[in-house]
Structure 1
C-alpha cells in the first residue's frame, strides 16, 4: 500500500468523480484509476461503485476512516519532522553528573534559555552510566558524564572532552588523616568510605584503583547526593574520595586533601565529557546547546579551579 493510493481513494470519495479527483491530485484520470485499482487489489475487495457518481462499497465504507487516519497521521508526522529540522523543538532533555549540575551548568542553562525561550529544558542529575543509558534509549538529548570509552566508543556517539580534574579526599576537619599533606593509599585503606551507588563512574573508579593497588577497600555507606556525602563525613571517621568539582563547597567543618603520588601508588583523575548522537546534532536546538556546553564549560572550570583559561 502506498500513500498516493490512499490519497487517490480519498480524493474520489470527496469529489464523487475520478476526473475531479485527478484534478484535485494534479495527476491524470488514468493515474487515479490505477492507484485505486491497485489499492483494491491489495485489500482484496472493491472499494468504490464506479457509476456516474462514485460511491462507497461496504468495504470502502469500512476502509474510509482508516484511510483518513493514515493520511492525517502522515501529515502530522511530516509537519512534526519539518518543525524539528527548522529548530521548532519544544523540549530538550539533559542528563548530567551532580557536580556539573551544581557548579558548571547553571550559566550555560541560563544563556540557552535566553537564546531559545520557546524550548523547555529538562535537566536530571544522574550517575554517568545511567545518564549514558538514557541517552542511548532516546530519553535525553545530551549527557554530561565522566568518560567511559566502553560506553561511548561507538560510531553514533559524539563525545567532546570538557575538562579533566583530580580526585581528592573529603573528611571531617578533625579527622586523623588531616595530618597528611597528601594522603597515601595505604592510609586511605584504614578508614570506612562513603561511596556513590552502582551506576556512578566515581564508584567504579575508586573500587578499581583499590583493587589494582591490592589495597583493602571498605565501602561503609552508599549515597547519591553531594549534600549527603558532606553530612555523613562531618559525623566522624568516614571519608570519601570525590572529584575536585564536588569539593568546592566544603566549609570549615570539613577538610580536603590530595592523594599522594609515591612509589607503587598514584593520584587519580577523571575526564568529564559531553555526549550526544550524530542524528541529534541535525536538530538545531540540540546542536546549539551541545556547542554552548563545549564552549562555555571549560573556561568556567578553569576559573573555578584557578587554572589558566584554556
Structure 2
C-alpha cells in the first residue's frame, strides 16, 4: 500500500468521479484508475461501485476513515520537515563547558536571537564527556566542549576547532607556592587541589599530565562550578588548575594569585561539535558559523607581565 494509492482513493471518494479525481490530483484518469486498482489488489476487496458515479462499497467505506488519518499524518509530517528545512524549528539546544557558557556564549546567543527571534534557545552547562553523550543521544543540537577524539571520531560527528587554551594555576595569596615566580609540575606533587568532577574533560587532562610527570595528584575536593573554585581557593589552602579564560579575570584580586607552570605547557583544545544531519538545518548552521566567527574575537589574553 502506497501513499499515492490512498490519495487517489480519497480523491475519487470525495469527487465521486474518476475523471474529476484526476483533475483534482493533476494526473490522467488512467493514472487514477491504475492507483485505485492497485490498492484494491493490495487489500483484496473492491472499493468502488463503478456503475455511473463512483460510489464506495462497504469495504471502501471502512477504508475511508483510515485513509484520511494516514494522509493527514503524512501531510503534517511533510509540513514539519519542510519547516525544519526552512529553518522554522521551535528551539535550539546547546550544551557547553562552564567557561564557554560563562564567557563565549552570551554574545553569540544575543546575535542569534536577533536573526531567529522565534527559535527558543536552551543552554545547559555540562562537562565535555556528558555534553557529547547527550548530543549523540539527540537531546541537544550543539556541544561546545574540550575535544575528546574517542567520543568525536564517529563519521556522524561534525567537529570544528575553535581555539586552544592554556591551563593556569590558581592559588591563595598566602599559599607557600605563591611566593615562587616560576613553578614546575614537581611543585604540585601531593599538593592538595580542587579539581573538576568526573566527566569533565579538564579533570582527565590534568590527571593525564600528572601521570606523564610521574607525580601524584592529590584531589582533595571535586567541584563543577568555576565560581566555586574561586571561593574555595580564596578561602582555603587548596590550589586549582583552571582555564585561562576564567583566571584572567582574577588577576589583581588581593586574595588570589595566578601562575603559569614551566614546560610542558598544559593546553586544551576547545571545539564545536554537532552532527552531519543537524548541520544542514539553517538555524543550527547559522549558530555554528556565529560561534566560529565570534569566539576567537571574544577571548581574553593573559599578558606575561601579569605574572
Same-fold call, TM > 0.5?
yes
Q: Does structure 2 conserve the Cα–Cα contact (< 8 Å) formed by 1:141 and 1:276?
A: yes
Q: Which structure 2 residue ranges, 5 or more long, are not aligned?
A: none
The normalised TM-score by structure 2 is 0.90
Deviations 1:271-294 (A, max 9, x none): 111122233232222111111111
- Cα 1:28–1:252 change in 2 (3 A) is same
Residue 256 (structure 1) aligned with residue 254 (structure 2): no
Q: Equivalences for 1:265-276 in 2 at 5 Å? A: 266-276=264-274
Name the SS of the counterpart of 1:249 in structure 2.
Answer: helix
Q: Does structure 1 conserve the Cα–Cα contact (< 8 Å) formed by 2:193 and 2:240?
A: yes
Report the equivalent of 1:177. Answer: 177
- Compare 129-138 and 57-66 and name the one that shifted more: 57-66
For 2:22 and 2:239, locate their aligned partners in 1 and report how far apart those are by CA, in whole Å.
78
Deviations 1:122-165 (A, max 9, x none): 11111111112222222222211111222223333222221111
Number of aligned residue pairs: give it: 302
Name the SS of the counterpart of 1:221 in structure 2.
Answer: strand
Q: Equivalences for 1:201-220 in 2 at 5 Å? A: 201-220=201-220
Q: Does structure 2 conserve the Cα–Cα contact (< 8 Å) formed by 1:183 and 1:257?
A: yes
- Compare 4-13 and 156-165 and name the one that shifted more: 156-165
Deviations 1:233-273 (A, max 9, x none): 22322221111112233333222211222xxxx22101111
Name the SS of the counterpart of 1:32 in structure 2.
Answer: helix
Shift of 1:51: 4.0
- Cα 1:65–1:219 change in 2 (3 A) is farther
Shift of 1:304: 4.7
For 1:193 and 1:109, locate their aligned partners in 2 and report how far apart those are by CA, in whole Å.
34
Name the SS of the counterpart of 1:166 in structure 2.
Answer: strand
Report the equivalent of 1:44. Answer: 44
For 1:180 and 1:306, locate their aligned partners in 2 and report how far apart those are by CA, in whole Å.
18
Residue 8 (structure 1) aligned with residue 8 (structure 2): yes
- Compare 121-130 and 187-196 and name the one that shifted more: 187-196
Report the equivalent of 1:25. Answer: 25
Q: Which structure 1 residue ranges, 5 or more long, are not aligned?
A: none
Report the equivalent of 2:79. Answer: 79
For 2:104 and 2:145, locate their aligned partners in 1 and report how far apart those are by CA, in whole Å.
13
Q: Does structure 1 conserve the Cα–Cα contact (< 8 Å) formed by 2:171 and 2:258?
A: yes
The normalised TM-score by structure 1 is 0.89
Q: Does structure 2 conserve the Cα–Cα contact (< 8 Å) formed by 1:170 and 1:256?
A: yes
Deviations 1:160-219 (A, max 9, x none): 221111111122221122122232222212222222122111011111111222211222
For 1:304 and 1:65, locate their aligned partners in 2 and report how far apart those are by CA, in whole Å.
67
Q: Does structure 2 conserve the Cα–Cα contact (< 8 Å) formed by 1:163 and 1:272?
A: yes
Equivalent of residue 289 in structure 1, options 287, 291, 300: 287
Name the SS of the counterpart of 2:235 in structure 1.
Answer: coil
- Cα 1:171–1:31 change in 2 (3 A) is same
Q: Does structure 2 conserve the Cα–Cα contact (< 8 Å) formed by 1:191 and 1:237?
A: no
For 1:50 and 1:192, locate their aligned partners in 2 and report how far apart those are by CA, in whole Å.
89
For 1:26 and 1:107, locate their aligned partners in 2 and report how far apart those are by CA, in whole Å.
50
- Cα 1:18–1:196 change in 2 (3 A) is same
Name the SS of the counterpart of 2:140 in structure 1.
Answer: coil
Shift of 1:24: 1.6
Q: Does structure 1 conserve the Cα–Cα contact (< 8 Å) formed by 2:190 and 2:215?
A: no
For 1:241 and 1:273, locate their aligned partners in 2 and report how far apart those are by CA, in whole Å.
20
